[in-house]
Amino acid sequence: MGVNFTLNGKPVSLDVDPQTPLLEVLRNDLQLNGPKFGCGLAQCGACAVLIDGNSSRSCVIPVSAVNGREVISLEGLGTAKNPHPLQLAFIEEQALQCGYCTNGMIITAAELLAKNPHPDSADIKRALAGHQCRCGAHPRIVKAVERAAGDMP
């Protein structure tokens, strides 16, 4: 069965087991590095992507569920040449240690800023509550989102 969706603005068409987790399709078939495998249980947030603008756990979503929908990954959010304010802010605040959870933090923060361009630190912490970071970069991550909010157009 074929699956068709929009990935980072481009149409994608695949012939895969429709039950395959979206994360596996993005990483293995479409060679993306942004979304990461962390738990496969929707508990850590490393795999987050935007589906129709909502931060979603791609590790538990079967690829068939995004048929006809719009998926944006970290790569689609911005690039080194055309960065998203959050990406610049994470560099500026040095808001990561190992960087494995960073994808999910930026994706969920992007959803937050799209819906609430001027969140306070409590809003940011609430939005990121479902994301795990083992290195203890939390204070820097919050600062980076605050900085990006200030830089948003």
Partner 1 sequence: MTTTRREFLRNSGALVVYFSLPASAVLSVASALAQDPGLSGNAALDTWISIEAGGTVRISSGKVELGQGIRTALAQIAAEELDIDLSRISMATVDTVRSPDESYTFSSISIMQSGTAIRKAAAEARRILLELAAESLGSPVESLTVQDGRIYRAAKVTQVDYWSLLAGQSFNTAVPQDIKTKPVGEYTIVGKSVKRLDIPGKVYGDAAFLQDLRLDGMVHARVVRPPADRARLVAADIASIEAMDGVLKVICDGSFMAIIAKREFQAVKAAEQLRAKSRWLLPEDLPDEAGLPAWLRSEKAKTYPIVHKEASTTRQAVTSLSASYSKPYIAHAAISPSAAVALKSDDGLTVWTHAQGMYPLRGAIARVVGLAESQVRCIHMEAAGCFGHNGGDDAACDAAAIAMQFPGRPVRLQWSRADEFQWEPYGSAMSIEVKAGLDQKGHIVEWDYDLWSCTHSSRPRGAPGAGNLLYAQHRKNPIEQPPPASIPQPAGGADRNAVPLYVFSRTRVDKHLVQRMPLKVSALRGLGAYGNVFAIESFMDEAALSVNADPFAYRLAHLKDVRAIDVLNKLRELSNWSDRPKTGSGDGWGVGFARFKNLTAWVGIVMKLRVDPETGKVRLDKVIAVVDSGLIVNPDGTRAQLEGGIIQSASWTLKEQVRFTNSAIQSGDWISYPILGFAEVPDIQIEIIDRPDQPPLGLGEAAQGPTAAAIANAVFHATGRRIRDLPLTPERVTMTG
Strand order through the sheet with 48-51: 10-15, 2-7, 70-72, 48-51, 54-57
Which of 6, 30, 43, 60 binds partner 1 (CB under 8 A)? It is 43
- Tell which positions 50-109 bind partner 1, by CB under 8 A: 73-75, 78-80, 83, 87, 90-91, 94, 96-103, 106
Exposure class string for 41-76: b at 16+ Cβ within 10 A, else e: ebebbbbbbbbeeebbbbbbbebbebeeeebbbbbb
Q: Stretches 50-58, 64-72, 109-117, 118-126: which one binds partner 1 (CB under 8 A)?
A: 118-126
Binding-site ranges for partner 1 (CB under 8 A): 17, 19-21, 24, 27-28, 31-34, 36-41, 43-44, 46, 73-75, 78-80, 83, 87, 90-91, 94, 96-103, 106, 124-126, 128-129, 131-142
